[in-house]
Amino acid sequence: MPAISSTETLEPASDAADHVIEARQRARQVLAGESHIGAVDDWRRALVSARDALIFIWLAWVALHGFGDPPFTGWMLVALAVALALLLGISTARSTHAQVQYYAAELDRERTEIRTDFEHEREEVRELYAAKGFRDPLLEQIVDTLSADDDRLLKVMMEEELGLSLYHVNHPLIVGLWNFGGAVLAGLALALPTALMFPDSAHWWIPLGGLGLLGVISIVSARATGRSMIEFFAVGVVMAVVTGGVAYALSQWFAQIISVPLLVQQ
């Protein structure tokens, strides 16, 4: 039997490694295009959308306050609350739809590769676990065990090759509706009283009402996700204070710039 050169020996492993790199690049290109995709892109994401809606209404009010509290401030905040909720609902539904489509396409791709080129898939498993530090004979036992069942091999290739965890993803329309609902309820809860109250009432309602609503959302989030309520609340407050300060400073600066030509004309 002719001797096998070192180059010929390394070709299958090299092909498998290239295939793994190509698959992971494909995953990054598809999933990175949707900023809302995450491991918890379901109804719990609606709590984050609700928090974002509160911060957005706060920012809009702060900016308008810097311009001197126009008489239409309250109803403008109501309009922005509904518009933002639609935006968040559509964007989360779109990102979830892209995620579902990508997962389905990759599952079909891997199933086809397992059926048509089983030995190449085995070689990919070997390459993946060799990179983790496993060596024969244990490496061969691992490859045999994982390759013995098609469903197990499919799960391994999705998680190890693409870096994707298989978990339940809700229907994109449901995800979009949850995020729309969370954002519109939180946004209107803060904006609508501003439109119905006397104009000066917004000076105390927006900050105090916003803090109260953020506290309620933080409690619900803590119970639903197991995360710290204090962390969720603190992050929201810090984001609101920092961005609100910038919005107020810029709006006052722009108001002064606009007022100078008006005074000259008068």
Residue-wise pLDDT for 56-89, tens only, equals: 999 999 999 888 888 889 999 999 999 999 999 9
What is the rounded CA–CA span in Å between residue 161 and residue 38?
A: 18
The pTM score is 0.68
Cis ω before 207 (30° cut-off from 0): no
Domain segments of the chain as ranges: 6-265
Higher pLDDT, 8 or 190: 190
What pLDDT does 189 receive?
A: 96
Contact 121, 153 (CB under 8 A): yes
Sequence-ordered alpha helix ranges (H) in the chain: 6-31, 45-66, 73-116, 118-131, 138-147, 150-156, 172-196, 202-225, 229-265
- Which whole number is the average pLDDT over 161-165? 61
What is the rounded CA–CA span in Å between residue 169 and residue 32?
A: 18
At 182, is the pLDDT very low, low, confident or very high (cuts 50, 70, 90)? very high
What is the rounded CA–CA span in Å between residue 53 and residue 86?
A: 11
Please classify residue 70 by burial: count the beta carbons closer than 10 Å to its beta carbon, then call 0-12 exposed, 13-18 middle and 19+ buried: exposed
What would the two tokens of residue 145 be?
């065990």
What is the rounded CA–CA span in Å between residue 37 and residue 33?
A: 9
At 32, is the pLDDT very low, low, confident or very high (cuts 50, 70, 90)? very low
Q: Is the pLDDT of residue 50 over 50?
A: yes
